Amino acid sequence: MLNTAETGETAAKGQGRIGVLIVNLGTPEATSYWPMRRYLKEFLSDPRVVETNRLLWWFILNGVILTIRPTRSGHAYDKIWNRERDESPLKTITRAQAEKVGHELAGDGPLLVDWGMRYGLPPVGERLAALKEAGCDRILVFPLYPQYSAATTATVADKVSEAMAKLRWQPALRFVPPYYSEGAHIDALAHSLTRHLDTLDWTPDTILASYHGLPESYVAAGDPYYDHCRETTRLLRAKLELPEAKLRMVFQSRFGKTEWIKPYAQDTVAALPGQGVHNLVMIMPGFAADCVETLEEVAIGLAETFRENGGENFSTVPCLNESDASIAMLAALIRKELSGWI
């Protein structure tokens, strides 16, 4: 799994290696009930993901949600499952990103590039230990979340801290900060959207930039996620020289009955045909890799919603994934944060 980019001269001097750990959200190991249940239990048991009374949530999670939701989620994953590798697309893509980034950084120094998942396999703690065992005395952790949220970025830091607490000899650590406004990221998104539009034989009436939702209470408590999403959308709109009405921001993946940040993607997509929008393109700038939320919820589910309400043409822009623009962007961000180490 470790991807080496090392110069012989540096290795000969006996200097410690530098590890780069790319971290994404995670994935179940199969679409059947018990693998789905294990994954969902780990994910939904995280107090940063669900901020509520822990005792009450334990009963709701174990008594209701983990009885019903694994089957429902398994059906969604089954629609987009990578049959050839028998794994989710998120795992396939994250692995490819790490491998290609390793090749891109070859020659930069004594680097080892690896990848892990915050929930599920391969676990963050295991991969950090592997990097240390491979001789890394400095490790850069890269959470693949462009926009910061305590429910995503911070929980990666929590898991890294938990793993470090078990080590007597700890490597030095750095984290790649959120890159929602980085020029390289905006350029990659703009390039991806423009190329996708060129493949269509129709012109969208509007474009929706869809981000994963978050409860309003989290934002009220100080989470900067909404502002980060808004800034990404503003910068992308400016880069493409589009008016606000042509590129709009929405939020998807609402869970539970509490109020989440708006506008909701589901409601917006359902209403657009009645507002004269019959050709729709959606892009997901908050996802570094295609996953069940982009491939099943948006590309399949929201496409059905749009057409059922009178829409005609619908298309989704693939996430940046392991495209050349994505790898160049990820490598540039890594090089920036490794300043002084390489």
Q: Where are the alpha helices (DSSP H) in the chain?
A: 8-12, 33-44, 54-60, 66-80, 89-104, 124-133, 153-164, 183-199, 216-220, 225-240, 265-271, 292, 303-308, 324-337
What is the spatial distance between Cα 65 and Cα 68, in angstroms, rounded to a whole number?
Answer: 5
- Write out pLDDT tens, residues 318-341: 999 999 999 999 999 999 999 999
Tell the residue number behind the tokens 């900067």, with chain if given. Answer: 224
Q: What is the pLDDT of residues 80-127, one digit of tens each?
A: 999 999 999 999 999 999 999 999 999 888 999 999 999 999 999 999
At 6 the pLDDT is 46
Domain ranges of the chain: 3-179+324-337, 183-316
Residue closest to 97 by CA, chosen among 327, 333, 336 = 327
Question: Is the preceding omega at residue 263 within 30 degrees of 0, hence cis?
Answer: yes
Query: Residue 256: its pLDDT value, please?
Result: 83
Give the C-alpha separation, 265 to 290, whole Å.
17
Two structure tokens written together for 166: 């078990």
Phi, psi dihedral angles at 37 (to 5 degrees): -65, -45
Among residues 152, 144, 55, the alpha carbon closest in space to that of 101 is found at: 144
Task: Examine residue 143 and say whether the peptide bond preceding it is cis (omega within 30 degrees of 0).
Answer: no
Q: Specify the CATH number for 183-316; select among 3.30.565.10, 3.40.50.1400, 3.40.50.150, 3.40.50.720.
A: 3.40.50.1400
Of 326, 245, 324, the closest CA to residue 285 belongs to 326
As a whole number of angstroms, the distance between CA 63 and CA 96 comes to 38
Low-confidence ranges of the chain (pLDDT < 70): 1-15
Query: Whole-angstrom Cα distance, residue 276 to residue 9?
Result: 64
Measured CA to CA, the distance from residue 4 to residue 20 in angstroms comes to 10
* Predicted local confidence at residue 342, as pLDDT: 87
Is domain 3-179+324-337 annotated with CATH 3.40.50.1400? yes
Identify the pLDDT of residue 10: 40
Cβ–Cβ < 8 Å for 212, 289: no
- Average pLDDT in the chain: 95
With H, G, I as helix, E, B as strand and everything else as coil, classify residue 241.
Answer: coil
8 A C-beta contact, residue 140 and residue 172: no
Reported pTM: 0.93
In whole angstroms, give the CA distance from residue 66 to residue 333.
Answer: 38
In this chain, the answer to whether the domains covering 3-179+324-337 and 183-316 adopt an identical fold is yes
pLDDT at residue 14, rounded to an integer: 45
